[in-house]
Amino acid sequence: MNFLFLDALNCRNKGRIPIWLMRQAGRYMPEYRALREKHLFLQMCHEPELINEVTQLPVRSFGMDAAILFSDILLIPEALGVGLHFNDSVGPVIERPLASSSDIASLPRIQAREDLSYIAKGIRLLKGCLKVPLIGFAGGPFTLASYMIEGKTDRTLRKTKQWMLRDPASFHHLLSLLCECIIGCLEMQIEAGIDAAQIFDSWAGTLAWPQFHEFSLGYLQKIVQRLKTRCPVILFCKGASAFTQELASIHPGAISFDWNANLPALRRVLPANIAFQGNLDPDILHASKSVICGEAARLLNGLRGDPGYIFNLGHGIHPDTPVDSVRALVEYVKEFS
Ligand code: 1CP
C-alpha cells in the first residue's frame, strides 16, 4: 500500500510529494473514451463493475498516488428525482429544475444506503484491489443547489443568486436538505471503505464574502464536523483563496486551491495541521513538456519539504488534454526531490 497521500493529508509526510489529479479518470484517456463508446456516462456511474474499472484506469496508466472514485456530484440530485442526463455538448442537464419553494417542499426524503447503494458496491470492489488510497466525494450544498435551480452549468448562477437573495428562507431549506443527503452519502462511502472525502463546493467562489459565510461555509462546517473523526475531509471551492481564513476556521483535513492562489505564500498563513492541495493551472497541460515541468518545478521548489502538501491541478483536467503531457507531469513530480 502507498501511504504518501494519507501521510500528507495528516501533515506528516517525510517522503516525496504525492500527486493525483482532479478528473483524472475522464475523456482525455483513450481507455475511457473506448468504454464511453459502449455506455452512457450515467450507466457507467450506476454500474459497480464499471465504477471499479474506470477508477483504476489512471492509477494503472500513470501511477497516481491516490484514486478518486469514478462518480458524479449530480447523482444526489438524480436520486432526489429532478431528472438528469448528460449531453455531450452542453454537459449535465437537470430535466425538472426547481422553480418555486413548493418544488423544494415536495422533494422526497432519500436514504443514501438504499438510493445510492451502487456507489457503496463500487467502493467495496475497489477496496479489494487498489494499492493506493481511495478518495470518495460529494458536491457542496451550494453547488448542488445551483445545478438544481439553473438546470445546467451556468457560471453566472444568476437564477440561483436571485432566488437566494429574494427568498433566503426557502434557499436555506434547500441547503439544509442537501446537507443531510451529502452527509448520508459520505457516511455510506466511509462505511464502504473510502480513505478520504473531498467536498466539491465548486461554485461557492461566485458568492460575495458575507454570502459565502451564510450560504456555503456554515453547511461545509456541519459536514466537516460530522465526518472528520471518521475520515479526513478535503474542501475544494473554486476561488477558495479569497476564503482561505474562513475555510481554515472550520478545521478541515485539507484545502484544495485553484490556480489563482500563491501556494507557498498561503502555506505560511494556514495552520500547520491543515494539509493543502493544488494548484497547477490545467491549461498548462497544453503547453510544451519543458513549460509543464518548469511550472511544476516552481510549485515543488516553493513547497519542498512541506509534510502536508499534495500536488494536484487547480481544477479538473480538460477532456482535450494530451495524454503524454499528463504522463510527463506525473513522472516529473514523482522524480522531483
Ligand atoms: O464522459 C463524459 O462525457 C462525462 C464527463 C464526466 C466525468 C468523467 C462528468 C460529467 N463527470 C465525470 C466524473 C467526475 N465528476 C468525477 C470523477 C472523478 C475524477 O476523475 O475526478 C468527479 C470528482 C466529478 C465532480 C463533478 N461533477 C463536479 C465538481 C468538480 C468540478 O469540476 O468542479 C461538477 C461541477 C460536476 C458536474 C459535471 N459532471 C460532468 C460535467 C461535464 C459536469 C459539469 C462540470 C463543468 O461544467 O465544469
Distance 312 CA to ligand 1 centre (A): 16
pLDDT at 274 over 90: yes
Cell numbers given for 292? 509543464
Q: Whose CA is nearest to atom 7 of ligand 1?
A: 26
**Strands 275-280 and 254-256, bridge-based pairing:** parallel
Q: What Rg, from alpha-carbon coordinates, does the chain have?
A: 19
Which of 20, 21, 23 should be mutated for ligand 1, with most atoms under 8 A from CB?
23
**% of residues, the chain, pLDDT over 70:** 100
Sign of CA dihedral 189, 191, 192, 195: positive
Contact (CB, 8 A) for 6 and 195: yes
Identify the CA nearest to 274 among candidates 253, 257, 304, 245.
253
pLDDT at 164 over 90: yes
Mean pLDDT of 265-277: 94
Which pLDDT belongs to residue 155? 86
Q: Whose CA is nearest to atom 8 of ligand 1?
A: 26
Which pLDDT belongs to residue 137? 98
137 lines ligand 1 (CB under 6 A): yes
Which pLDDT belongs to residue 45? 98
74 lines ligand 1 (CB under 6 A): yes
Cell numbers given for 333? 513530480
Mean pLDDT of 269-286: 97
- Between the alpha carbon of residue 291 and those of residues 16, 281, 286, 310, the distances in Å are 22, 12, 9, 20
**Strands 84-87 and 91-94, bridge-based pairing:** antiparallel
pLDDT at 337 over 80: no
Contact (CB, 8 A) for 67 and 56: yes
Whole-number Å distance between alpha carbons of 236 and 254: 9
Residues forming the active site: 23, 27, 36, 72, 147
pLDDT band at 246 (very low <50, low <70, confident <90, very high): very high
Whole-number Å distance between alpha carbons of 219 and 214: 9
pLDDT band at 240 (very low <50, low <70, confident <90, very high): confident
- Between the alpha carbon of residue 15 and those of residues 244, 254, 309, 310, the distances in Å are 26, 18, 11, 12
Whole-number Å distance between alpha carbons of 260 and 314: 8
Instruction: Please write the tens of the pLDDT for every residue from 280-304.
Output: 999 999 999 999 999 999 999 999 9
Contact (CB, 8 A) for 242 and 274: no
pLDDT at 306 over 80: yes
Mean pLDDT of the chain: 97
**% of residues, the chain, pLDDT over 90:** 97
Distance 131 CA to ligand 1 centre (A): 24
pLDDT band at 311 (very low <50, low <70, confident <90, very high): very high
24 lines ligand 1 (CB under 6 A): yes
Which pLDDT belongs to residue 262? 94
Instruction: Please write the tens of the pLDDT for every residue from 9-62.
Output: 999 999 999 999 999 999 999 999 999 999 999 999 999 999 999 999 999 999
What is the number of the ligand 1 atom nearest to the C-alpha of 143? 35
Instruction: Please write the tens of the pLDDT for every residue from 139-148.
Output: 999 999 999 9
